[in-house]
Each structure stands twice: as C-alpha cells, then as structure tokens.
Chain A
Amino acid sequence: MTTKRGLKYDFSLIAILLIPIGVAINFVGAQIVLLLKLPVYLDTIGTALTAMIGGPWIGMVTGLCTNLVKGILNPVSFAFIPVQMGVGLVVGLLAMSGMFTKAWKVIIAAVLVSLTSTIIASPIQVLMFGGATGNSSDALVATFLASGQQIWTAVFSTKIINECIDKVFCLLIAFFIVKKMSPRYLSKLNYGSIFIKSKKQ
C-alpha cells in the first residue's frame, strides 16, 4: 500500500494533533533535564519525534510553534525560529530515507542535523547578537576568540561541538521512543510505515 505524501496530504487531523504534543515534549524534555541536573539541553526531542513520524512539514511546524511559545516569555527565541524549523525539516527528510532504522544510522543522522542547525544558527547569532546567546556556551566562544580566532569560526566551532552532543542524545531518545510505539498507531500516520517495517527485522 502506498500513502500519498506531501504538503497537501501531511496535515491530517491525527498529525495536526501531534504538533501540540511535540511542542510540549520539547518543553518537558528541557524541564526533566533541569530536574535531573544533566549537562545538556535536549529541547528538540519533540521536534525530532514529530518529524520522524509525522513527516518534514509537521516537524517544521512543530519547530515554529515551539519557538513562538518560548518567545512569549523570551523574545530572543523569535530570532532562532529558522533553526528549529530546519531541524524539523532535515529530521523528517532523513527519516523518509530510512536513516532512523538502526542506532548507528541515527548517530550519522545526528551529525547531519547538527551541521544543519549550526549553519542556520551561526549567521543569526553573529549578525543579530554579536556572537552571544546569553547562556553558558558563550564562555566557549570567548575562549575561542581569546585564542585568536575570528568571530565566525569561534561561533561555528562552539555551535558544532554543542549541537553534536545535544543532537546525538535527542535523536537517540526519539528513536528509542518511536521504536516502542504500537504499529496500530504508527499505521495511521503517513510516515509511520517506515518504522513498522524496521520492527520486523
């Protein structure tokens, strides 16, 4: 059986209802990280999860909504909307090409996703915020600058290091959770069949 995919077909009601859940997972993931005092962010688990089972467009909208809601309390997030959207899109596309069926493939996918988000985030950070983000990673940027690097390379290197660690965890967690989902539910989503097939092997 082939399902129709694309911008027109992806926004079925069950996929739309996935978006608020995805946004909430992004928030709750970050909250659990705070409660358990872990040294990572993990605030894109929801975006990755919805992109994997709902497709790239649903992933993009989840990313957009996440930063719009974050922006209500901290307007700086509005500037970083394209980053979350890019993550959703790329994760969705990688999932379509079967990159989320085995754990080692997920790690390769994580590197690609962190490269994407670094490429999108660095210009925003350098041009709009002079290289700062207001959290602890700025110390690393300052260290790179002090060692004689240019602002672009300093921000880019800091980002890629942070993102790689963060995205490997995020995508692995999303991957393990999707693996636990029931085929009955996955079959209702346009992109769920990829993960049902990978279960049989």
Chain B
Amino acid sequence: MDQIKKSILHLYPTTKFLVTLFLCISVFIVPGYLYAYSVLFICMFFSYLAGSFKEFSDLAIKALLLIVVFIFILQSFFYPGTHVIWSWSIFSIKQEGIDFALNLTSKIVAIGSSFILFFRITKVKDLISSLEALGLPPKVTYIFLSTLQIIPEMKKLTIVIMDAQKTRGVETEGKLFTRIKAFLPTLSPLILGSIAGTEERVLTLESRAFSAKVKKTSLYTVEKTKYDPIVRIILLILLITLIIWRVML
C-alpha cells in the first residue's frame, strides 16, 4: 500500500498531467453520461491510493457540488421541451432538460475532478520545475512561485493591519456603512507596503544576475521514475483503443 502511494506521488509531473489530459479527452470520446460520472469515482480511487482522499472529496464537493445543483435547477425547469415529468403552477420539469443537464454536468464533474486530483497528487513546485526543464523561461516560473509564496504572506499581513487599525479606532464591525469605511484603511497600507517592497526585491534579484542572458541552473530538480514510461505507454494504448472502438461502433 505504501509502495503504491509512493510510486503515484513520485511520478513525473508531466506524466500525471497526461493522465489528467487522457481522462478529460476520454470523456468526449465515450458517449453518454455514465462513463463521465464514473471518472469522478476513478479519481476518488486514485486519490485514495495516493492517501489524499479526504482533501480530494472536500475540494470536489466545495468546487463542483453547487454548480452541478444550479445547472440541474436551471436546465430542468427552463430548458425548452415537451415531455413534462412533474409540474407545479407555471414551473415544470422536462425530460429534455434533465438529459441536457446530465450530459453537461457529467463532463464538468469529470474534467473538474481530474484536475482536482492532479493538483492533490502533484506539488506545484515539482510541476513548475518540470515545465522549466521543458523550456519555460525562468522569469515565468519566478512569477508563479513567488505568487504562491506571497499570497499566504499577504493574508497574514491583512490580519495584522486590521488589528493595528482597530487599535487606532477604525471600526471593522457594525453597520454596513461602517464596514465599507473600514475597507480602504485595511487594503491601502497593505498594497502600498508590498509595492514599496518590490523596489528592494528588484535590487536583490539584479545583484544575483536575474536578468543575465545565460543558462540558469536550478538547485531543485525532479527525476523521472521507472514507472513513467510504463504509465505513458498504457495511456497511449488506452487512447488508441478508445478511438478505434468509437470509430468501429
């Protein structure tokens, strides 16, 4: 069990991405909504193997449940159709609407859950490092990595600033208008402060030859495992079989 978990988590990021891409494409090759919904369970199974089942299901529910419910409500009531299943005064649920909603939501759930799975089993750091190996310029990778670092930092800073403003007497609770007035005093020190910091960061980066037009080396690299080629070949075979099966049908 631990062996399987390790080998899934240590797969090369682009291989994992190919798995995600394969799941997304296969949804459009295989007709009907049953297969597309089962992709959710396939992803659940993989996330269980990788030991992140709870995180996966939490995120999947948060991201996908509401939108699926709303699509069902909108489409089943308002999709033009004639086969009325259930009706109450001016509202009626139609078979065509339900079919349309099933088709649409199954694809959204499949694509959404395969991407959620991908980001649960792949560290963003690994993904970016593998993209850099593929030839992504280091400026782009720097933007992404520093973005991911700055967000939690600034979230912490927000709480600090809010507390500081409260001690100065800025009200952050109460009527709507009071709360609106508290918005700008919280946000503007945060923004002006972090923007002032960029000037120093420019100096720091330049002193480390960030803009120099030479090949950069990296301290952090991801290695391909022995399973990577196997997984890729299996995916290719599966894709070809699916296409042939679909054409022959």
- Interface of A with B (CB < 8 Å)? 11, 13-14, 16-21, 23-25, 27-29, 31-33, 35-39, 45, 49, 61, 65, 68-69, 71-76, 78, 128-135, 138, 141-142, 145-146, 151, 173, 176-177, 180-181, 185, 188
- Pair A36/B147 contact, Cβ less than 8 Å: no
- Pair B147/A145 contact, Cβ less than 8 Å: no
Query: What are the residues of chain A within 8 A of B206 when measuring CB–CB?
Result: 13
- Pair A76/B151 contact, Cβ less than 8 Å: no
- Pair B143/A20 contact, Cβ less than 8 Å: yes
Complex interface: stretch among B31-39, B71-79, B241-249? B71-79
- Pair B150/A20 contact, Cβ less than 8 Å: yes
B202 adjacent to chain A (CB < 8 Å) = yes
B68 to chain A, nearest CB (A): 8
- Pair A141/B151 contact, Cβ less than 8 Å: no
- Pair A177/B188 contact, Cβ less than 8 Å: yes
Q: What CA separation (Å) do A154 and B21 show in the bound complex?
A: 33
- Pair B147/A65 contact, Cβ less than 8 Å: yes
Query: What are the residues of chain B within 8 A of A141 when measuring CB–CB?
Result: 74
B134 adjacent to chain A (CB < 8 Å) = no
Q: What CA separation (Å) do A109 and B210 show in the bound complex?
A: 37
Closest to A15 in B: B198
Among B145-199, those with CB < 8 Å from A are: 146-151, 153-155, 158, 162, 172, 176, 179-180, 182-184, 186-188, 190-192, 194-196, 198-199
Number of chain B residues whose Cβ lies closer than 8 Å to a Cβ of chain A:
64
- Interface of B with A (CB < 8 Å)? 59, 62-64, 66-67, 70-71, 73-75, 77-78, 90-91, 100-101, 104, 108, 111-112, 115-116, 119, 124, 139, 142-144, 146-151, 153-155, 158, 162, 172, 176, 179-180, 182-184, 186-188, 190-192, 194-196, 198-199, 201-202, 205-206, 210-211
Closest to A35 in B: B162
17 contacts between A and B (CB under 8 A): A11-B139, A13-B211, A17-B198, A20-B143, A21-B198, A36-B172, A45-B187, A74-B59, A76-B64, A129-B71, A129-B108, A134-B70, A135-B66, A138-B73, A146-B77, A151-B74, A176-B188
- Pair A173/B184 contact, Cβ less than 8 Å: yes
Known: A16-B143, A130-B71. A24 touches B194 (CB 8 A): yes
Q: Among A23, A32, A185, which residue has the most Cβ atoms of chain B within 10 A?
A: A32
Query: What are the residues of chain B within 8 A of A37 when measuring CB–CB?
Result: 179
Closest to A77 in B: B63
Q: What CA separation (Å) do A20 and B158 show in the bound complex?
A: 16
- Pair B112/A76 contact, Cβ less than 8 Å: yes
Q: Which listed residue (A19, A23, A78) contacts B151, Cβ 8 A?
A: A23
Query: What are the residues of chain A within 8 A of B195 when measuring CB–CB?
Result: 18, 21, 181, 185
Query: What are the residues of chain A within 8 A of B139 when measuring CB–CB?
Result: 11, 16
Known: A17-B198, A31-B155, A76-B112. A180 touches B144 (CB 8 A): no
Q: What CA separation (Å) do A20 and B194 show in the bound complex?
A: 10
Q: What CA separation (Å) do A28 and B157 show in the bound complex?
A: 10
Query: What are the residues of chain A within 8 A of B150 when measuring CB–CB?
Result: 20-21, 23-24
Query: What are the residues of chain B within 8 A of A176 when measuring CB–CB?
Result: 184, 188
